[in-house]
Amino acid sequence: MADAKKKKEKKPSFVERMKSRGREAKRLGVTLKDEPKQFPSEVHGVIRRSLRKVWHARGGGLYACGFVITFVYLEIRMIVVDIFEAESVGAFFSEQATEIVFKYLGESIQNTISAFIWPVHIIELKSPWGVGILIVMYLVFANFIKAPLEMWLFHDAEAPEKNGAGDQ
């Protein structure tokens, strides 16, 4: 019976993941320096691989898509607010240098938590109709968005696995 169960892949350690991201950042830097015209293509690949990981981790459906959209929106909003609150460009960059470790780390954790509960925000936004909005979002996602999104995410990798929880 144990042979019939799939063995879970061993997740790389935190240090291994950080080394991998460091090598990827270095590779992007070298590409930017040596072949600047290839840089956008390389960044596109990195973004797509990152989104693919989030897609798998969050179940590969409407929830995963909502998580990514919510997180990106919250992060961009955080940066735009900081830009408009800065007195000058120099002040913005000097503030960011000192605040990046504390402020952005804390706000990014807060944004991650908010992104985890994105359906609650939809329900609260238009309360008695929130559940209906989520149902419509699911139907639109399942019928029109999921297939093209998966083709974009996985066109150069393995096809996503179809399973009960993630196949929304």
Alpha carbon distance 32, 39 (integer Å)? 5
* Residue 45, pLDDT score: 87
* Residue 164, pLDDT score: 45
Each residue's pLDDT tens digit in the chain (168 positions)? 444 445 667 888 888 988 888 898 899 899 988 998 998 989 888 888 888 888 888 888 899 899 989 999 998 998 888 778 877 777 777 777 777 667 778 888 999 999 999 999 888 887 778 888 999 999 999 999 999 988 888 877 655 555 444 444
- Residue 49: how many other CB atoms lie within 10 Å: 13
Alpha carbon distance 106, 103 (integer Å)? 5
Q: What is the largest distance, in Å, between two alpha-carbon atoms of the chain?
A: 66
> Closest by alpha carbon to 159, among 151, 118, 24, 167?
151
Report the predicted TM-score, pTM, of the whole model to 2 decimal places: 0.69
Which amino acid belongs to residue 30? V
Rounded to 10 degrees, the C-alpha dihedral 143/146/149/155 comes to -110
Alpha carbon distance 115, 66 (integer Å)? 8
* Residue 48, pLDDT score: 87
* Residue 166, pLDDT score: 45
Return the domain boundaries, the chain.
13-57
* Residue 161, pLDDT score: 54
> Closest by alpha carbon to 74, among 22, 11, 44, 118?
118
Find out whether 146 and 168 touch, Cβ atoms under 8 Å: yes
